[in-house]
Each structure stands twice: as structure tokens, then as C-alpha cells.
Amino acid sequence: MPQFSCPKCGAALAVDPGTQIAKCQFCGTVTYVDRSEALFYYLLPFTIDEVKAKGIFKRWTAGPAMAKELENGCKITKIVKEFFPVFRFRRSVNKSEKVFVRPARGTTLPGMHNLEIPPGGEVIYDERVSIGDAKQIDPDISIGSYIGEMPGDAIDQALVYFPIYEITYEFEGKSYDVVIDGSSGRVFSGPSPSRSSAQYMAVMGMAFVLGLIGGFLACSIHILLIVIAAGGLILGRQMAQKVVTKQPAPVAGATGSGSDQKQVGDGAEQAGADNADNAAGADAAGAGADAGSAAAEAQPEATAAAETAENAAESEVKQ
Ligand SMILES: [Zn+2]
């Protein structure tokens, strides 16, 4: 029989064989006696009742990543309110305190490796604490199996009963599990009916098309602005010309700049025409070159064909 000592005061603990709960005779600390040591023994109370848990579940089924029909198409087949045993390791890692939580029972339930115990939220689990209508799950893993993977040095170790709702639901003939943290309301899910990739692609495709339309709209607004600006310029020039024609004594600046613009415009047009000519010339040259090369390619073939014909003729003659 191994000797156990109180995790709080270090006094020797009298542990009755076959029991896992011991109370220190000196300081009164209630401990959970693991295979190799006595641990602090806590319980984290529920802060979320079953009605609230169902509400959280419903909101979760309506989430954007979930199958479209899940919210209305799923059916809760089982909801279990339970205290799940976890080990809490408080460690000093590089002089700062880190907390690690690990399941104290083998489980396939989602989230049991990622639970978080809010600091100070736990209560000492002794005879005064009632678990109410919740089920209490017994540990079946020894704390010793986790010690090796823990970084830093131990500050203390505890067995904490963690409040969860284990929800089983059916959707399209299949059964799924979800865990709701009864303390924080966090939702943990294993495989769940999510939106299929096809649906996802459809949504993404839609977003892409909307993006394109947005882009086109932005461009056309841009073009619209240019058209308006150009229209404004032309209108402005016409008005200026009207003013000029009405007044025999010309406003030299206005006319001058107007005709200058015209000239610049003509010049640009001329340049444009030149460019067009050049381009046409280049095209023509290109076409000429293409034709030339085609002819060059065609020639050897023709020669070869002629030679074959001649050979054939010769062989016929020989026969
Ligand atoms: Zn003690």
C-alpha cells in the first residue's frame, strides 16, 4: 500500500483501502486518491441549464458552416447532463504558470482534450457539494499517464469534475454527438453535417460572380465619369464659342485656347491615323511573310510528291 500525502499541507493521508476519496486529518483538504498520489479534488458547477444548452445547440445548427437543413431537420435523441472527470495540471513553464487539462477517462467525446477551467471557478468537492440531477462519470485513467508529456515543473494537480451536456442528435438517418461546456457554453463537435463542398462551391461561385458584377459596375461608373467629364468639356467649349460669336470683340484667350485644342486634337487624330497605317502596313508585311513561308514549306512537299510520282513511273516502266 503506497503512502499518500496531502497535496496542501504534506501530512500523511490515511486512505481506506478501496476508497478514492480521502480527507486530510490536519487541514481538512478533500483529495482524490489516484493510483500513485493524492490530488486536489474539485467540481466546476454548471452555469448553463438544460434549456439554455438546447438554445446554444439550436444556434449552432444554424451556423454558416452547417448543412442548410440542419437547424430544422435535426432531432435531439438524447441529452445527458454530466460531470466529466479531467485532470488539471498547473505547471511552471519558463517561470510562468500554465494550465493543462486532460481527460481522466477514455472517451471519444469531442472537446474533452480542449476543455478550459476558468480560474477560481471550481469548488472543493466534498460532502457538502451536490451534483443535483447530473450524472457523475468515474475516472479510468491514471494521472501518471500524463506526467511524462507535461512541460515545466508541477505547481499542483487536481481531479476536476467538469460540467458538460452530451447531446446526441439525428440528421438524415445518421447519428452525431455534440458536447456543450456547461460552464462556458462552448460547443464541441466531432464530424457533423456541414455544408457539402458542392454547396460551398456554389456559394463561393456566387460570391465570385457578385464580385465580377461589382467590378464591372465600378468600371462603368468610371467610364460614366469620363463621359460626363468629356461632355462637360464639349459643352463648355460650345458655350465659350457662343460667347465668342456673340461678342465681335473676341476674348482672345478663350478662342486661342479653343483652336489650340482643336489643333492638338487634329494632330492626335493624324498621329492615330499614321499609327493605323503603320499597323496595317505591318500586318500586310506579316501576311506577306506568312504567305512566303507557307509557299516555302509547300515547295519541298510538292517536289517530293513529284519525285515519288517519277519513281513510281520508272518502276512501272521497269516491270
Ligand atoms: Zn492537509
Domain ranges, ordered by start, for the chain: 4-195, 196-236, 250-290
Q: What pLDDT shows up at residue 219?
A: 67
CA of 10 to the centre of ligand 1 (A): 6
> What SS3 state is found at 183?
coil
Contact indicator for 138, 104 with CB cutoff of 8 Å: no
Query: Measured in angstroms, how far is the CA atom of residue 15 from the centroid of ligand 1?
Result: 13
Ligand 1 center to 82 CA (angstroms)? 29
Beta bridge partners of 79: 167
Amino acid letter, 314: E
Q: What angle do CA 292, 293, 297 make, to 5 degrees?
A: 120
How remote is the CA of residue 9 from the centroid of ligand 1, in Å? 4
Query: For residue 244, which of 225, 261, 230, 257 has the smallest C-alpha distance?
Result: 257
Tens digit of each residue's pLDDT, the chain (319 residues): 578 999 999 999 989 888 899 999 999 999 999 988 899 999 999 999 999 999 999 999 999 999 999 999 999 999 999 999 999 999 999 999 999 999 999 999 999 998 999 999 999 998 899 999 999 999 999 999 999 999 999 999 999 999 999 999 999 999 999 999 999 999 999 999 987 655 556 666 677 777 777 777 776 767 666 677 777 777 777 776 766 555 554 444 444 444 444 444 444 444 444 444 444 444 444 444 444 444 444 454 444 444 554 555 454 444 4
What is the Å distance from ligand 1's center to 161 Cα?
A: 21
Q: In this predicted structure, what is the pLDDT of residue 215?
A: 74
For residue 42, count other CB atoms closer than 10 A to its CB.
22
End-to-end Cα separation, the chain, in angstroms? 115
CA of 8 to the centre of ligand 1 (A): 5
Q: Residue 102: phi, psi to the nearest 5?
A: -135, 145
Phi/psi at 139 (nearest 5 deg)?
-70, 150
The rounded Å distance from CA 148 to ligand 1 centre is: 26
Amino acid identity, residue 149? E
Spacing, Cα 7 to ligand 1 middle (Å) = 7
Report CA(125)–ligand 1 centroid distance (Å): 15
Ramachandran quadrant class, 132 (left: phi over 0; alpha: psi -120 to 50; beta: rest): left
135 Cα: distance to centroid of ligand 1 (angstroms): 29
Say what the pLDDT of residue 199 is: 59
Cα(44)–Cα(16) distance, integer angstroms: 26
Give the 3-state DSSP-derived string for 123-154, with helices as H, strands as E and coil as C: EECCCCCCCCCCEECCCCCCCHHHHCCCCCEE
For residue 266, report the distance from its CA to the centre of ligand 1, in Å. 102
Task: Give dist(CA 57, CA 180) in Å, integer.
Answer: 8
153 and 26 in contact (C-beta within 8 Å)? Answer: no
Instruction: Give the per-residue pLDDT at 201.
Output: 61
Whole-model pTM: value is 0.61
